[in-house]
Structure formats: C-alpha cells, structure tokens
Amino acid sequence: MRILSALAVVAAFTLPATAQNYPQEFEAGRAEYLAACAACHGENADGNGPIAIMFDQRVPGLRGMAIDNDGKFPLLETFMIVDGRTGVRGHGSPMPVFGNRYKAELGTALGDYGSEAAVRARVLELVYYLQAIQD
C-alpha cells in the first residue's frame, strides 16, 4: 500500500501540468484565468472558448507558448500582453486591457501604489498559471 501511495505522489509531481492537472499553488491564477480568459481561450486554454467563434481571427491556444518560444515560457511578454497597459496594441485588438480593468475594479480603496501592486499581483498569478499548464 505504501508503494502505491509513493507512486501516486511521484506521478503527481512528474506528470506535465495541464488545464486539468496543475499544481495547486496556482489555484488563484486558475481562478483568474477561468473568470477572465476562458470565454475566449477555452477552459483548457486550447483557443476554443464559447465566444471564440465571434472573432474574425482564430483565438490562440495558450498551452503551446513555451514550445513556440524555443521551449522557454515568455513570462515578461505574457505579463505585458495580459496587463495591456504598456507597448503598442493594434487597432481593434480583441484582447482586453486587463491592467486597466483590474485597476478600475479596485478604484482608490488601496491608494495609487497599493492598487498598482494588487493589479500586478493579479496579472502575475494568471501568468504563473499559464506557465504551469504549458505542454
């Protein structure tokens, strides 16, 4: 019995993380993903969310970001895309600017610096989750 328990623990840590099988430390990021991203990118981050058919361009899957970047997850670039407040965005981009959205939700309750820290933490949790579910 102990051998089976040990094998289960080893398997849990050696299986690749997916949208269904991810380390529990990323639960906050997963919750953020499900609330903010899954409608377009799909619950499994495969690009097949329920409203993806409404866009002219195919909504990208998010589990191959590391593969598409020579095996390294583009953490900073992903953070900046999700946050959306830096860099130039194309006209008509369907990707929401979550940094502004999250900041507006907080209002002035935490002050300027506190609000910014909370926004960045929220975006970072989401990005860490995306990193954890890479194929």
Rg of the chain (C-alpha set): 17
Residue type at 103 in one-letter notation: K
Identify the pLDDT of residue 92: 60
Phi/psi at 21 (5° precision): -130, 90
pTM of structure: 0.79
Section 36-45 average pLDDT: 96
Cα–Cα distance for residue pair 81/127, rounded to 1 Å: 10
**Tokens linked to 44:** 């499994």
What's the pLDDT tens digit per position in 50-104? 999 999 889 999 999 999 999 999 999 999 999 998 876 655 677 888 999 999 9
- Ordered by start, the domain boundaries in the chain are 18-132
